[in-house]
Structure 1
């Protein structure tokens, strides 16, 4: 009998990737082929929804993104434009279609989103599958299926918003953190400068050298990108005050409460404000302040969890990222449909680990994504005008998101802090099989 050499593992106990090769078809497992077939079919449908250029997402790219593109080409951010509320790195997403001058702006934008989707799907397959068609110890292909199946539920929306590349960067950062904390942190920093929420992905890094490296790399890369963009463009820091006048968007958790109040006789109204449809009227300011207070409480809870957590598994960094983004999404004054792309991506990363505590939460995210499409675009006009149809839909969607966030936080706490979990024997990570020669 000959003992096989132990399977290499990372400093956090995660098995390193096997010899899966995209360039060698004979190493492709059947499940990878099934995923590829489903991905191609579903993405053709998504692209078809944008092809006519009449969908709202296509109009948004034509009207808003292309307008920002033209302003950015002059060397300045859209200063004074209340709809520009993003960190300076968002300029990279707006300027990127200019790299394909032989296409229209919409065509180039959609092609780049499609390519980002493809690379993300391939990465999820790669971290899960081995050459022989099996699964890495502790890994699962559920994450790859989550990404493949959940994104088309949003119809053409993912290809008409720039949240897809931001989510892809955050997912890459999470997947790299265990083995390459500096690289993972650097990607998180870049993503943070594109849209702020990816700063949360390093929250669950285990205490120690790897965590310090990830945090330092994130801060350094974010600062470096900010410095470069501030040098190249005028008005790079305008985004810091752009959202000070935001109210309560009609699809937010607070907005759904005001929607119910409107049906019951509240005299408020809905109008275009700061680039989105918001409620205007009595008590709106109070609801907005309550949302900010809940966000502060969520941040305090996350700090408490970080301080109290005693047990880290390979899935903990992924689970903590999903919990943090869920809490900040639900307590936000704005919940746009594209925010579900963030949650789909983070849930998919969680599902790559069999030991994740967030598997039921991912199902709730999937259901919330489906209801979001019922809300937008199917019932969105009804939501604007008021009435029970749109109100019921948005209450169901936000109820699912609220349930997902509370369940996510509770499961993360039980897995890492709760004394009850401490009494359970920790699963032993097998270092490699013994084969008979």
Structure 2
């Protein structure tokens, strides 16, 4: 009976994926209109504009909304591989293909001896909860690279390093996949790949690293943890604004710089904790590689001054990789991330108008979503520390001097 159920499991997995992804495609192809703001405009307008500039052999130097590392150009240019489709339709198709690649990798990894199919199910269930935004951003493509890196990492550290570096040159955060890497080959491969590809872009296309200076004047994005301060403060007379700034809806006004600086300080503190963990960790097994990556990205996400909906795609993918191993302690954080994904689609795009005006419904959604992510981050950090860091040996206490009966007498023993 168990064998028969196990045999049907891949089929049900494929059916669930096909049904949910067909729904996402119907929304991004505008066969049916998903409520809220049109999430596909980023592709049809912004990405398409970048595409035309990149085809000329240069980066969008005059567009401050271009805030991505140089290899992001590959994702923006990728629709050229499907010239028989419009730019937007080609992009959505490739995003769906990336989604399918992730499923295939997770299903293969979960089907190996001693592994679990839970990871594939987390991906199948978690992604559609984010709504059509998943296919209207290139984050799912980056996540596919990250998933491949982690699944290859235990046996092939050079592949881990090369793929992590490639992902980081697309959107920075995959550099955190190396948090749990212990072999020098992984770090060496990452350094060589990153330097080589970065140099290639710098030489061949002007403005490859201009993105580093395009974020200096950013405010605090309305969906971030720090933004909750201003959502509440608006009800008590705070005189600030909510504006489209550097490509996202942000708070601008008094004290925003202070909150943004505090967010950067929290990120620095998170990295400090990760460094301390690496110095003290001893039990770095294959399962810990993915657990450490998820923990690091969670900490980065909750402390960032920007917490866009597509960031949840990263977390769902990393949580799915963790759960392909039965030894992973990340089941709780994975479930919290799936719950946060559902609250995210309620917040954007469904309830984004409520978020922008900071009404009670919008604030409640943000508080609940961000609370789940904070809890996931703290829980993941707790599990990672206690499963890899040995307890400090207790300092032996010197024996108390007993009563003596004379010179050279020994302390009195208590016989029980």
TM over 0.5: yes
Aligned residue number for residue 133 of structure 2: 157
Q: Which moved more, 1:228-237 or 1:369-378?
A: 228-237
- Please list every run of 5 or more consecutive structure 2 residues that lacks an aligned counterpart in the other structure: 1-5, 394-416
Give distance in 2, aligned partners of 1:240 and 1:382: 32
Q: Aligned residue for 1:382?
A: 354
Which of 91, 99, 120 in structure 2 is aligned with 1:144?
A: 120
Q: 1:65 and 2:47 equivalent?
A: yes
1:336 aligned residue: 308
1:244 counterpart residue number: 216
State how 1:133-212 maps to structure 2 within 5 Å: 136-137=113-114, 139-206=115-182, 211-212=183-184
1:40 Cα deviation (Å)? 0.7
The CA deviation at 1:378 is 1.4
- SS class of match (2:56): coil
Partner of 1:121: 103
Q: Choose the corresponding residue for 2:59, options 67, 71, 77.
A: 77
Match of 1:262 in 2: 234
Match of 1:273 in 2: 245
Count of residue correspondences: 385
TM-score normalised by L of structure 2: 0.90
CA distance in 1, matches of 2:159, 2:324: 20
Across the aligned residues of Structure 1 and Structure 2, the Cα RMSD in angstroms comes to 1.6
- Could you tell me which residue of structure 1 aligns to residue 84 of structure 2? 102
Aligned partners of 1:238, 1:156: CA distance in 2, in Å?
30
Partner of 2:405: none
Q: Is the 8 A contact 2:44 2:88 kept in 1?
A: yes
Q: Report the counterpart of residue 253 of structure 1 in structure 2.
A: 225
Is contact 2:39–2:349 with CA below 8 Å preserved after alignment? no
Q: Does structure 2 retain, via aligned residues, the 8 Å contact 1:291–1:333?
A: yes
Quote the Cα distance in structure 2 between the aligned partners of 1:285 and 1:184: 37
Alpha-carbon distance between aligned partners in 1 of 2:372 and 2:324, rounded to the nearest angstrom: 22
Give yes or no for contact 1:174–1:202 (8 Å, CA) kept in 2: no
CA offset at residue 414 of structure 1?
Answer: 0.7
Structure 1 outlier segments of 4+, above 4 Å: none
Q: Distance in 2 between matches of 1:186 and 1:386?
A: 43
- 1:111 aligned partner: 93
Structure of greater Rg: 2
Query: What is the rounded CA distance, in whole Å, between the counterparts of 2:378 and 2:57 in structure 1?
Result: 44
Contact 1:29 1:129 in 2 (8 A): no
State the Cα distance separating 1:225 from its structure 2 match.
1.3
CA distance in 2, matches of 1:244, 1:306: 31
Q: Is the contact made by 1:191 and 1:198 (CA closer than 8 Å) also made in structure 2?
A: yes
Trace 1:316-331 onto structure 2 (pairs within 5 A): 316-331=288-303
- Write the deviation string for residues 39-91 of structure 1: whole angstroms up to 9, x where unpaired: 11111001001112866222110010000000101111011211100000000
The Cα of 1:418 is off from its aligned counterpart by 4.5
Sort the Cα spacing of 1:420 and 1:404 in 2 relative to 1 into closer, same or farther, 3 A: farther
The equivalent residue for 2:343 is 371
Match of 1:39 in 2: 17
Distance in 2, Cα, partners of 1:111 & 1:280: 37
Deviations 1:94-148 (A, max 9, x none): 0010111110001110111111111110110111115xxxxx11x1110000001
Residue in 2 that maps onto 1:51: 29
Using the alignment, how far apart are the partners of 2:392 and 2:8 within structure 1? 40
Are 1:221 and 2:193 matched, yes or no? Answer: yes
